[in-house]
């Protein structure tokens, strides 16, 4: 099993450009999350999804969009990149049928710089 | 809503003990603990699900005080491999499916 796969690993964008961060998992997990990590700020939840076709906002959703058309994929879209979106982005997934105690599996991250 | 972790940073000598605290202003359903090495993804340590629950993993254990909305992570006889940043992640009692993380505690172990 590959687990949670994120692409690309690194990317430099110019201000105003758009891009999609890809996230795929092969564990048949129904819950998926996008976090961003800035130095000293911890992990901030951007968006999350509890299943195909269902998404919801997290703590810092402005400037981002997501979709979940399949169980496996959960792409994160930046429409008009801004320097404030320079960060490391982590995708995570977990299996949950509302049973307690499901841990998060994290991807290896995407380091994004907006210049 | 972000849980508060304390201390922000700890420096220990190998073999010493450490306690990392995580407190929430909202009622909690569960608390997750993860460790992150520099340049890597967070790695799961343990989940605590109910008040008073304690879990252990070798020399790393944790407790969850549901009434006080707090959890503590205990590292006993620390090893060099324990160095990294520790994060608590909280799921609120209303089961809104969000897992919100604290800012982290940086732990550095000296030989």
pLDDT in tens, A14-40: 999 999 999 999 999 999 999 999 988
Phi/psi at A45 (nearest 5 deg)? -80, 125
Residue A90 burial (10 A CB sphere; 0-12, 13-18, 19+)? buried
Nearest to B32 by CA among B80, B100, B85: B100
Flag whether residue B4 sits within 8 Å of chain A, measured between CB atoms.
no
Q: Which residue of A has its CA nearest to B86?
A: A42
Q: Looking at residues B24-30, what average pLDDT do you find?
A: 90
- The whole-angstrom separation of Cα B86 and Cα A3 is 22
In chain A, residues with a C-beta closer than 8 Å to the C-beta of B97 are: 31, 48, 50, 56, 96
Q: How confident is the model at residue B29 (pLDDT cuts 50, 70, 90)?
A: confident
Structure tokens at B36: 């992150």
Contact B89 A43 (CB under 8 A): yes
Write out pLDDT tens, residues B71-92: 999 999 999 999 999 999 998 8
Contact A106 B42 (CB under 8 A): yes
Residue A98 DSSP one-character state: S
């Amino acid at each position: 099993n590959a687990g949670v796969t994120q692409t690309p690993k690194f990317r430099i964008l110019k201000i105003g450009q758009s891009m999609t961060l890809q996230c795929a998992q092969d564990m048949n997990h129904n819950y998926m999350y996008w976090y961003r990590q800035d130095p000293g700020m911890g992990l901030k939840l951007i968006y999350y999804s509890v299943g195909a076709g269902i998404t919801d906002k997290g703590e810092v959703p402005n400037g981002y969009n997501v979709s979940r058309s399949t169980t496996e994929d959960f792409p994160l879209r930046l429409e008009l990149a801004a320097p404030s979106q320079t960060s490391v982005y982590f995708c995570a997934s977990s299996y949950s049928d509302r049973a307690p105690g499901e841990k998060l599996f994290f991807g290896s991250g995407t380091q994004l710089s907006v210049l | 809503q972000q849980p508060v972790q304390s201390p922000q940073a700890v420096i220990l000598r190998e073999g010493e003990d450490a306690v990392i605290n995580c407190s929430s202003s909202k009622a909690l359903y569960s608390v997750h603990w993860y460790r992150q090495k520099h340049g890597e993804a967070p790695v799961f340590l343990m989940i605590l699900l109910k008040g008073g629950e304690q879990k252990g993993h070798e020399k790393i254990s944790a407790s969850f005080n549901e009434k006080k909305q707090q959890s503590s992570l205990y590292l006993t006889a620390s090893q060099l491999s324990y160095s990294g940043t520790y994060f608590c992640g909280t799921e609120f009692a209303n089961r809104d499916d969000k897992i919100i993380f604290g800012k982290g505690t940086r732990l550095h172990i000296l030989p």
